[in-house]
Structure 1
Amino acid sequence: MKRFKIYRIFSKQLLWYYPYAWGDTFPSCHPLLGVHHSPINLDDQMVRNESLGPLHLEGFDEIQTGHWTLQNDGHSVLLHVGSGMSVSGGGLPDVYHTIQLHFHWGGPATNGSEHTVDRRRYPMEVHIVSMKSIHPNVTAALEDPTGLAVLGFFIDVVYADNVHFGHISQKLSSVAYKGQTTKVKPFPLMSLLPKHNMTQYYRYYGSLTTPPCAQAVVWTLYEVPIYISWSQLAQFTSQIFSTEEDAEQVTPLQNNFRHIHPTFSRIVSVSKDAKLLTGTAGHPLRSALSVHLLQIILLGSFVSRL
């Protein structure tokens, strides 16, 4: 997605931390201009689709040549994986070349996944971003409603370190501050993933979760999370900074997730092998009337500022 190029459009660092205000600078980010925004909440309204079988992850179980680059762009930690991997099948409309993965997290006392399950957040979420093979660059892909395919994995916490996740976590100290990069020796990306549960996922059509919020993403969210340790999580929530090392005031990078958006009329599909989520008892959703009233209020506020 080359997100670091997109993020540099921001003239003020603080704008990043107020996603409700993104629409003032990037109209396409306004939640009422378009109905395919991400992230969303996953609940028991999803629909089983028996045709959604396993995706084909070409090169994910191999060690790629060359080197990968880990980067702190001030808004996330990104791992640029070069060429050699692709995603296809599982209902995707084309072959997609994998270009990078990045993370979203909360703070020392807050969870930070972007998507929610039954209104609950996981501690973290990782996105593996791939671009449709017919496009020469990301800019062109963003003009295509299915130009990008993102594989999303929730990250949960246990007591033991995830040895495979160590390929990334052990390098985080080298990218603690905005603008820092370091080389990472390639490793089989599949070793990070819940490889025995890769047929269990949810599918919907949505958007980037950062400016320009282009509605150009085929989302695949996996049901079974990746597990890391508390100490590995703390490396993200407490030891990564959104400012440069020589900044007058150093600011921790925390809560880098976008707010939840309505699904509207979109169908959220469940793969053939996934488990349907249980009911949402104790977490009542807003009534349709309440949602419409909120939309009218927000739209009036947005139009008045144009």
Structure 2
Amino acid sequence: MIWTAALLMIVVSHADSDDYCYNEPHCDPYAWGDTFPSCHPLLEEHHSPINLDHQVIRNDSLESLYLEGFDAIQTGHWTLKNDGHSVVLQVGSGMSVSGGGLPGVYHTIQLHFHWGGPATNGSEHMVDRRRYPMEMHIVNMKSIHPNLTAALDDPTGLAVLGFFIDVVYADNMHFGHISQKLSSVAYKGQITKIKPFPLMSLLPKHSMSQYYRYYGSLTTPPCSQVVVWTLYEVPIYISWSQLAQFTSQIFSTEEDAEQVTPLQNNFRHIHPTFSRIVSASKDAILLTGTASRPLVLAVSAQLLQIILLGSFISGL
């Protein structure tokens, strides 16, 4: 399991490789296909991320996932690392994900983040063309596979839980388990230990039955199309100051580099869904990113009724 986790950290969670980047034309997401052929968007049709829109189809069989061990405090310690592409929390063994239409049991390996800049949003997926400030991915590998190589040969070898992150004024106390350690991993290659905490404390636990499902790819090289995506519609809320720790205080270069570069806008561009079905879970409120529209329409309809009623009464 330790060796598998290490491999997964290398391939899935933004390895210590300079073969790809986010902000330089020669190695940004549009150029990844030059080095990693499976990242070429014109050769394959199941890339991630995507935009969630009103074309989603309700699937009443999609109920809450079973997140085993997410409420417990795991033994040992976890590892937080800046790998130059993201901040990665390696959680070790003890947790798994199943149910909710997933084709098997998946062992939880790690989680990592994608964000924008001081004045730009940076989630990878979008909701009705809206990009959230951040996105968190919890990566899980199908338990039947002995290693990552086998999992990457399985079209459903990985299951990733995606959570949008939005901002409010108050600090998220539970998110502080991570944000308070960020100064220790400000530069590429830096690693620190974290005392395990219940992972469920980070999540919108009262809304875990509301999500969207589709089949796609890793959003970093090698962009393998082996991911069952579960995107939760209710975001995690953190404070502006906690967000700023990511957008302004994390660097993609080593501490002793001649010129340190902030790690910003570490998200891949949106890809077409093509013929893929994007399913809404049984309890999903179809696209919360546009939930305000029905309310506006309802208010407008009520105002129209009042106006018409007033006109009718005045004509009596």
The normalised TM-score by structure 1 is 0.89
Asked if 2 retains the 8 angstrom alpha-carbon contact of 1:164 and 1:192, the reply is: yes
Aligned mates of 1:232, 1:156 — CA distance in 2: 11
1:248 is the counterpart of 2:248: no
**Where does the alignment leave 5 or more consecutive residues of structure 1 unmatched?**
281-306
Aligned to 1:79: 89
Q: What's the counterpart of residue 187 of structure 1?
A: 197
Identity of aligned residues (%): 84
Residues in 1 aligned to 2:248 and 2:255: alpha-carbon distance in whole angstroms: 15
Distance in 1 between residues matched to 2:68 and 2:261, nearest whole Å: 39
Read off the aligned partner of 1:114 and give its amino acid letter: E
| Aligned 8 A contact 2:20 2:28 in 1 | no
Moved more, 222-231 or 13-22: 13-22
Asked if residue 28 in structure 1 is aligned to residue 38 in structure 2, the reply is: yes
Structure 1's 207 and 84: CA in aligned 2 closer, same or farther, altered over 3 A?
A: same
What residue in structure 2 maps to residue 97 of structure 1? 107
Contact 1:17 1:256 in 2 (8 A): no
Residue aligned with 1:5, SS: helix
Residues 46-65 of structure 1 mapped to structure 2, 5 A cutoff? 46-65=56-75
Counterpart for residue 10 of structure 1: 18
* Residue pair 1:49, 1:270 contacting (<8 A) in 2 also: yes
User: For the residues of structure 2 that align with 1:268 and 1:67, how far apart are their CA atoms?
Assistant: 37
Q: 1:217 to 1:15 in 2, by over 3 A?
A: farther
Provide runs of 4+ in structure 1 moved above 6 Å.
Answer: none
The one of 98, 120, 126 equivalent to 2:136 is: 126
Specify the code of the residue in structure 1 equivalent to 2:18. Answer: F
**Correspondence 1:135 to 2:145:** yes
Counterpart of 1:75, as a letter, is H
- Tell me the alpha carbon deviations over residues 123-148 of structure 1, each in whole angstroms, 9 at most, x when there is no partner: 00000000000111222211110000
Verify the 8 A CA contact 1:68 1:81 in the aligned structure 2: yes
| d(CA) in 1 for partners of 2:210, 2:188 | 35
1:152 & 1:58 partners in 2: Cα distance?
17
Contact 2:156 2:227 in 1 (8 A): yes
SS in 2 for 1:139: helix
Compared CA separation, residues 219 and 112, structure 1 to 2 (3 A):
same
Structure 2 residue aligned with 1:204: 214
State the TM-score, normalized to the length of structure 2: 0.86
Partner of 2:171: 161
Rg larger for? 2
Q: Which residue in the other structure is 1:214 paired with?
A: 224
Using the alignment, how far apart are the partners of 2:97 and 2:114 within structure 1?
Answer: 22
Query: How far, CA to CA, are the matches of 1:11 and 1:272 in structure 2?
Result: 41
Deviations, residues 167-211 of structure 1 (Å, cap 9, x unaligned): 000000000000000000000000000000000000000000000
Structure 2 runs not aligned, ≥5 long: 291-316
| Number of aligned residue pairs | 280
C-alpha distance in 1, partners of 2:236/2:262? 24
Q: How far apart, CA to CA, are the structure 1 residues paired with 2:209 and 2:225?
A: 25
Q: Contact 1:72–1:179 at 8 Å: present in 2 too?
A: yes
- Counterpart among 279, 284, 290 of residue 274 in structure 1: 284
Listed one character per residue, the Cα deviations across residues 216-239 of structure 1 (whole Å, up to 9, x for unaligned) are: 000000010000000000000000
Q: Quick check: 271-280 or 242-251, which moved more?
A: 271-280
CA distance in 2, matches of 1:113, 1:278: 15
Q: Note the C-alpha offset of 1:5.
A: 2.1
| Preserved contact between residue 162 and residue 227 of structure 1 (Cα < 8 Å) | yes
